[in-house]
Amino acid sequence: MKLAEIEQGSLALPEHERAALAVKLLDTLPLAGVGVPDEEVERRENELESGQVTAISHAEFLRRVERARGR
């Protein structure tokens, strides 16, 4: 079976089945750079403390991601 056939069949699945398949596939991959370097954490903390940036809630973050994805 070719990748294009697998992709086409997968995209035809209902949303909950696509999500389950995605989870199974992702579980087979190694974790890639999930850690954030200490320097980056410190830089972001300094930006927040100085007022250079404003924090947003997790819900607002999700809304912005959805909007950026055009949903």
pTM assigned to the model? 0.45
| pLDDT of 31 | 78
| pLDDT band for position 70 (cuts 50, 70, 90) | confident
Q: What is the pLDDT of residues 7-58, one digit of tens each?
A: 999 999 999 999 999 999 999 988 776 788 899 999 999 999 999 999 999 9
Residues in the chain: 71
Strands (E), the chain: none
Looking at the structure, tell me whether residues 39 and 22 fall in a common domain: no
29 and 39 part of one domain: no
Q: Token pair 């947003």 is at which residue?
A: 56
CA 39 – CA 17 distance, rounded (Å): 40
Give pLDDT, residue 46.
Answer: 96
Domain of 61?
Answer: 35-71
Q: Is pLDDT of 60 > 90?
A: yes
Rounded CA gap, 44 and 46, in Å? Answer: 5
CA 57 to chain centre: 16
Please indicate, yes or no, whether residues 42 and 65 belong to a single structural domain of this protein.
Answer: yes
What is the number of domains present in the chain?
Answer: 2
